[in-house]
């Protein structure tokens, strides 16, 4: 009986600590430190074929990925592009970019251009990309609305934005919240691939 009570108390303390971490991360979003990159290689709810279905990349497109981390979702997209196409990856952590570029080199994948920067203030010109995507990244950005405004600005009219979010991330952005934020800056929601607990959502910048 005593052991049973101890187990209940330990589980309650653990659950409370996890909830406290989630609430703290949501209040003060910050990039996943490079030192914790092992977390990016664990099995995920969000898989590459779901990203392909939502993004539908054309071989000659110019595509931007914000927050590539260690490049898990970058290499398969870059492999899909031909010599007219290009994948640009942007991250606030130079170490993540170096890791992605090195991984691409080791696997013989070309066509990736890395830029160190912040999604809240992009250095790309207006209407520059055919498509933009982010996976498990939006929730880490302190001013999501500002970042979404920037993504809207750098996408060409008719271009696609794909956002991947999963319940496994403490800063997960739920689909309803994401739709409100994207629609408030001018995107139109088109499709959800996957389940609500782990999804890719596609939005479009309306054509002029
Ligand atoms: C949780 S990791 C996800 C990495 C990768 N997309 C994946 O799913 O494996 C989030 C990435 O977004 C980057 N990031 C966070 N805030 C950012 C910002 N404001 N601008 C650009 N990148 C950011 C982090 O440095 C990190 O590489």
Residue 150: the pLDDT is 98
Residue 179: the pLDDT is 98
84, exposed or middle or buried, with CB in 10 Å at 0-12, 13-18, 19+?
Answer: exposed
Return the number of other C-beta atoms located less than 10 Å from residue 61's C-beta: 21
Residue 27: the pLDDT is 72
Residue 24: the pLDDT is 63
Sign of CA dihedral 26, 28, 29, 32: negative
Q: Which ligand 1 atom is at minimum distance from the Cα of 164?
A: 8
Q: Whose CA is nearest to atom 15 of ligand 1?
A: 31
Return d(Cα 196, Cα 175) in angstroms, integer.
7
The pTM assigned to this predicted structure is 0.92
Return d(Cα 103, Cα 5) in angstroms, integer.
49
Return d(Cα 144, Cα 187) in angstroms, integer.
14
Residue 16: the pLDDT is 58
- Bridge partners of 118? 121
Cβ-proximal residues to 120 (8 Å cutoff; 6+ apart), any chain: 141, 142, 143, 146, 147, 150
Is the CB–ligand 1 distance for residue 63 below 6 Å? Answer: no
What residue spans define the domains of the chain? 47-204
The tens place of each residue's pLDDT in the chain, 208 residues long, gives 577 777 776 766 666 555 555 556 667 899 999 999 999 999 999 999 999 999 999 999 999 999 999 999 999 999 999 999 999 999 999 999 999 999 999 999 999 999 999 999 999 999 999 999 999 999 999 999 999 999 999 999 999 999 999 999 999 999 999 999 999 999 999 999 999 999 999 999 999 8
The first and second tokens of residue 54, run together, are: 């939502």
Residue 26: the pLDDT is 66
> What dihedral do alpha carbons 39, 41, 46, 49 form, nearest 10°?
170
**What is the dotted CATH code of the domain comprising 47-204?**
3.40.50.150
Is the CB–ligand 1 distance for residue 91 below 6 Å? Answer: yes
Q: Whose CA is nearest to atom 9 of ligand 1?
A: 40
Residue 62 CA, distance from chain mean position? 17
Residue 205: the pLDDT is 98
Residue 99: the pLDDT is 98
């Amino acid at each position: 009986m005593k052991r049973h009570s101890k187990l209940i108390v330990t589980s309650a303390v653990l659950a409370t600590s996890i909830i406290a971490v989630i609430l703290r991360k949501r209040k003060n979003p910050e990039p996943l430190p490079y030192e914790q990159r092992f977390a990016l290689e664990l099995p995920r709810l969000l898989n590459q074929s779901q990203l392909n279905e939502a993004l539908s990349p054309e071989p000659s497109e110019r595509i931007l990925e914000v927050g590539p981390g260690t490049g898990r979702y970058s290499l398969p997209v870059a492999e899909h592009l031909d010599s007219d196409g290009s994948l640009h990856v942007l991250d606030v952590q130079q170490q993540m970019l170096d890791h992605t570029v090195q991984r691409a080199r080791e696997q013989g994948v070309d066509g990736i251009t890395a830029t160190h920067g912040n999604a809240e203030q992009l250095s790309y010109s207006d209407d520059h990309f055919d498509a933009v995507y982010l996976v498990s990244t939006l929730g880490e950005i302190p001013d999501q609305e500002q970042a979404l405004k920037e993504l809207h600005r750098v996408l060409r009219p008719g271009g696609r934005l794909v956002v991947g979010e999963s319940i496994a991330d403490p800063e997960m952005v739920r689909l309803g919240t994401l739709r409100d934020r994207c629609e408030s800056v001018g995107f139109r929601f088109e499709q959800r691939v996957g389940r609500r607990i782990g999804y890719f959502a596609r939005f479009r910048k309306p054509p002029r």
